[in-house]
Each structure stands twice: as C-alpha cells, then as structure tokens.
Chains A and B, each alone.
Chain A
C-alpha cells in the first residue's frame, strides 16, 4: 500500500467514524426526546386525574344547594374530561407499544369514570350528595393512574 492509499483509507475511516458517531448521537437524542415527552404526558395525565379526584370529592360530598358556586366545579369537571381522553390518546400514540388489552381497559375506564362523575343528576338543581360516586370514581382514578404508570415505567 503506497502512501496515497494509506491517506485515502485514513480519510474514509475518519468519515465513517464521524458519521457513525453522528447517527448514534442522533438516535440517542431521539430516544431521549421520546422518553421525555412520554414522561411529560404521563405527568399531565396524572395531574388531570388528581384534579378530577379533588373536584369529584368537593362536588359529590355535598348537595347542590350547599355549594357556593356549583357551576365553577361543574365547568372544571367538564373541562378536565375534555382533556383526559385526548391526553391519553397522545400518550398512546407517542408510546406506540401499549397492548390492545391494556389500551381498551384504560379507554373503558375513562368512559365509565365520565358516566359516574357526570351522570345521573350531575348539574341537577336538586342534586343530592353521593358518597358511592366518590368511592367508585376514586377507585377508577387509582386504577387509571396505576395503569398509566405501569405503561410508562414497566411495560
């Protein structure tokens, strides 16, 4: 091998090495970005669920006439539900590997939670307090939080 061939081989090796390092760094960055956005979505979802639990307890623990401003809590509950399912949909899309069984379980639980909290005499002028709604919805919220945490940190 003459000196020219050695120089060419060296340059090629350097270029290949640099390119490999670039690709490795790029892929690593993408994986880290994806992980970071999944964690942010998980936090967003658990924040919505925590807020929903708080509002549910505040709303269903007393009858309508005893609340100072029921419309405020009702609007907040409706707003949280408007954000809950789309937030889960974003997490599911970003994660990309949620099993069909767990995905359906979470979606069903969100739907059932909506029926429990905003069903029956929700926004009713003569609404009564309902402790059963509180226990059922808080149970569902705990299940949802556990499922979401397990998707992000275990599955």
Chain B
C-alpha cells in the first residue's frame, strides 16, 4: 500500500487544521493517512512518498503524523513500525527525520 503525498493529496500541503485550508495536516491525516492505514494488513507496511511537494511546514507534519498518536489512534511504536518513508530527492531526508521525531514525541 502506498501514498504519494504530492500526487494523492497535494503538492502544496500547508497548515495544521482544516480551517487553515483544504490541504492541511488534519485533512491529510483524517481523509487519507488514517484511511490507508486501516486498509494495510497486519504484516504489511504503508509506503509514503514524501518528495513530490514544494516542502513542508512543521505545523502540517506534526498535525498529520504526531496527531495520529496524540488522538490515540496508534502508539508511537506501532505507527513507526507501520510506516516507511520514501524519497528520491535527498533534500527530503530532513523531513523524514522530523516526521519520525514528531511521532516519537507525540503525547
């Protein structure tokens, strides 16, 4: 199972809440990420391609990924075990590390 954020959601993801715009972290989490995660079999992973976008703000990433843990949908460990982040553009290594940090730090 795969998600390409730039193609399946938006190449200009922005903002934390739906009230900030239709491409917010909350919209990504609730409308796409959580739905795809529920379709992933126990022994499978969800591959997320993160580099077909212009860039991310921490508000978007924290709400999208950390928010899943904060809302009690997954534990940090379970979520990290389920997700694999992919990118071809090495500039996006930074965002992968930040997403993992937000998932680990979410309470």
Contacts and interface: CB of A to CB of B under 8 A. Distances in A.
A85 B92 CA distance: 9
The contact size tier of chain A is 20 to 34
Given A85-B94, A86-B94, A123-B59, A75 B54 contact: yes
Given A123-B14, A123-B21, A124-B15, A78 B57 contact: yes
A132 to B, nearest CB: 16
B104 to A, nearest CB: 13
Interface residues of B, number: 23
A125 B20 contact: yes
A137 to B, nearest CB: 12
A125 B59 contact: no
A119 B55 contact: no
Contact of A114 (B14, B17, B21, B98): B98
21 contacts: A74-B14, A74-B57, A78-B54, A78-B55, A78-B56, A82-B55, A82-B91, A86-B94, A111-B97, A115-B58, A119-B57, A119-B58, A120-B59, A121-B16, A122-B59, A123-B14, A123-B59, A123-B60, A124-B19, A125-B19, A126-B19
